[in-house]
């Protein structure tokens, strides 16, 4: 398991935080495997200054705070309204209640920018992205650049080729693939978050070979047609799953770069690729979440 740039002694690496707010308006972290809020803001993961002033004021009870420090060192603090949890979510202590609560937190909620502009500037190499402070970006300050380097090294994308960037976010990997396929090639980036797609389109407007599609990956694969030379996938923690892996394999890509932040889901997906005739060529694992048991895994599969 490799360190990422900027890890140091394992402290001060995190540039994004999502804090809960308890019933008294105090920010903190959810208790391990529980719904209680621990209001001791002493976790050593965040970069310096992220907590400043947060405990000195009262926030909306039951809401959340997104704290982001961008590539320019600007801190953005966004207050997010409480999730409208259904009666099942409020009253059921079991799986049904947990599912209802997760569904509520995933729905759009009102956001109030308290500090900063709410638009975070992030960079990989010479390219900059401007995205919502509440949008997705790698939490570790060295992760996006390192993963982009690995994707470019492994992709095998050649000039004039075709590549898919699935679960593509704002297009960090699409930018790396576009540099390889050139203007004669094509890169399709599929991402369900419309805000991320719009941010990606603005950042990569100078790359005519990149096309963004705002869609769930499993839906997009119904009409995306091969041949495709390279596919990069960075699915959520639960993994890509059988239907996505089978559709990608059916498209006939010679090289697949698969990324996963949960080793168990990552391993299940790799097994599915092997069942489709792919060979596991390379694997790298990164300590992307220092002081925790989590890690990020990247695999190169070929056939």
Catalytic residue status for 297: no
pLDDT value of position 246: 96
Question: What's the DSSP call for residue 11?
Answer: S
Place of tokens 């690496």: 13
- Report the distance separating Cα 179 and Cα 158, nearest Å: 10
The catalytically annotated residue of 178, 187, 203, 261 is: 261
Categorize the per-residue pLDDT at 92 as very low, low, confident or very high, splitting at 50, 70 and 90.
low
Q: How large is the average pLDDT for residues 13-31?
A: 96
Tell me what percent of the residues of the chain surpass a pLDDT of 90. 88
pLDDT value of position 104: 60
Question: What's the DSSP call for residue 13?
Answer: -
> How many Cβ atoms are within 10 Å of 12's Cβ, its own excluded?
17
pLDDT value of position 225: 78
Please name the residues in contact with 13: beta carbons below 8 A apart, sequence gap of 6 or more: 4, 6, 7, 45, 47, 140, 141, 142, 290
pLDDT value of position 34: 83
pLDDT tens, 256-290? 999 999 999 999 999 999 999 999 999 999 999 99
pLDDT value of position 109: 80
Query: Nearest to residue 159, comparing CAs of 128, 182, 134?
Result: 182
pLDDT tens, 210-244? 999 999 999 999 999 778 999 999 999 999 999 99
Report whether 21 contacts 65 (CB < 8 A).
yes
**Where is pLDDT greater, at 90 or 255?**
255
Give domain limits for the chain.
16-69+75-116, 137-302
For residue 91, give Cα distances in angstroms to 102, 107, 134: 14, 19, 29
pLDDT tens, 33-55? 888 999 999 999 999 999 999 99
Flag whether pLDDT at 89 surpasses 60. Answer: no
Q: How large is the average pLDDT for residues 8-20?
A: 95
Largest CA distance in the chain: 58
pLDDT value of position 86: 65
Is CATH 3.40.50.150 correct for 137-302? yes
pLDDT value of position 90: 58
pLDDT value of position 33: 83
pLDDT tens, 94-140? 676 666 666 666 677 899 999 999 999 999 999 999 999 999 999 99
- Report the distance separating Cα 147 and Cα 129, nearest Å: 16
pLDDT tens, 168-193? 999 999 999 999 999 999 999 999 99
Please name the residues in contact with 148: beta carbons below 8 A apart, sequence gap of 6 or more: 124, 125, 172, 173, 175, 176
Per-residue burial over 55-74, b if 16 or more Cβ lie within 10 Å, else e, is eeeebeeebbbbbbbbbeee
Query: Nearest to residue 193, comparing CAs of 218, 216, 210?
Result: 216
pLDDT averaged over the chain? 93
């Amino acid at each position: 398991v490799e360190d990422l740039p900027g890890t140091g002694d394992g402290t001060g690496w995190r540039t994004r935080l999502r804090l809960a707010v308890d019933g008294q308006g105090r920010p903190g972290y959810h208790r391990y495997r529980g719904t209680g809020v621990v209001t001791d803001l002493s976790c050593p993961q965040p970069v310096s200054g992220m907590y400043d002033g947060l405990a000195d004021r009262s926030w909306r009870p039951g809401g959340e705070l997104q704290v982001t420090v961008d590539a320019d060192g600007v801190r953005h603090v966004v207050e997010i309204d409480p999730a409208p949890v259904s009666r099942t979510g409020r009253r059921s202590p079991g799986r049904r209640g947990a599912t209802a609560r997760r569904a509520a937190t995933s729905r759009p909620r009102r956001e109030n920018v308290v500090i900063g502009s709410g638009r975070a500037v992030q960079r990989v190499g010479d390219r900059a992205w401007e995205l919502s402070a509440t949008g997705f970006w790698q939490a570790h300050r060295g992760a996006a650049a390192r993963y982009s380097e690995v994707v470019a090294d492994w992709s095998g994308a050649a000039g004039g080729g075709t590549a898919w960037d699935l679960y593509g976010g704002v297009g960090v990997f699409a930018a790396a693939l576009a540099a390889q396929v050139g203007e004669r090639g094509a890169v399709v980036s599929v991402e369900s978050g419309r805000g991320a797609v719009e941010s990606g389109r603005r950042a990569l407007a100078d790359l005519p070979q990149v096309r963004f599609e705002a869609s769930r990956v499993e839906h997009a694969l119904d009409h995306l047609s091969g041949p495709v030379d390279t596919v990069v996938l960075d699915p959520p923690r639960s993994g890509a799953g059988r239907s996505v892996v089978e559709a990608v394999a059916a498209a006939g890509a010679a090289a697949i770069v698969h990324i996963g932040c949960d080793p168990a889901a990552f391993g299940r997906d790799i097994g599915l690729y092997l069942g489709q005739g792919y060979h596991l060529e390379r694997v790298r694992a990164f300590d992307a979440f220092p002081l925790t048991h989590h890690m990020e895994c990247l695999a190169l599969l070929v056939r």
